[in-house]
């Protein structure tokens, strides 16, 4: 009986975590770091940062910048043990930057409720962007 209850709880948690990846989510932050390939901080930016994710599209925008980074999702992996608390989603996308397309990887990851977004854009080789997510809102 105990094993059945544990299995049911795990099934419910897993289905909630997977459904999180199939919804539109607005993420917001106020700080982001530009990193080199070794993980050293090259620059820090304080601004209102908005990320919108859904199964087909991903959009990243800084309030001070009129241009948004938009991408079409090619592939997505979703591995959450607790929705928005522990796990990650990795979006492989095509973005347009400097009037040309480029491959990009957006990784939303949470550890004990602390959520980050790591953005790696092929056209920005040698630089990564780490954004510290302050909150999120699911849109049905």
In 3D space, the residue among 25, 20, 34, 21 whose CA is nearest the CA of residue 132 turns out to be 34
Q: Is the pLDDT of residue 14 over 50?
A: no
d(CA 52, CA 2): 40
Structural domain boundaries in the chain: 2-139
Which residue carries 């510290």 as its tokens? Answer: 132
Residue count (the chain): 140
- pTM, entire model: 0.84
CATH number of 2-139: 2.40.128
Q: Which tokens sit at 114?
A: 């602390």
Q: For 76-118, what is each residue's pLDDT tens digit? A: 999 999 999 999 999 999 999 888 999 999 999 999 999 999 9
């Amino acid at each position: 009986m105990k094993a059945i209850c544990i299995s049911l709880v795990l099934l419910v948690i897993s289905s909630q975590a997977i459904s999180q990846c199939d919804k539109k989510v607005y993420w917001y932050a106020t700080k982001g770091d530009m990193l080199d390939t070794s993980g050293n901080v090259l620059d820090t930016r304080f601004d209102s940062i908005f990320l919108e994710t859904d199964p087909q599209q991903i959009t990243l925008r800084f309030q001070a910048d009129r241009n948004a980074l938009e991408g079409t999702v090619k592939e997505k992996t979703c591995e959450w043990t607790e929705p928005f608390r522990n796990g990650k989603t990795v979006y492989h996308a095509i973005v347009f930057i400097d009037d040309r397309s480029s491959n990009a990887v957006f990784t939303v990851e949470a550890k004990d409720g602390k959520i980050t977004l790591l953005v790696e854009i092929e056209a920005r080789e040698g630089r990564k962007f780490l954004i510290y997510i302050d909150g999120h809102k699911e849109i049905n």
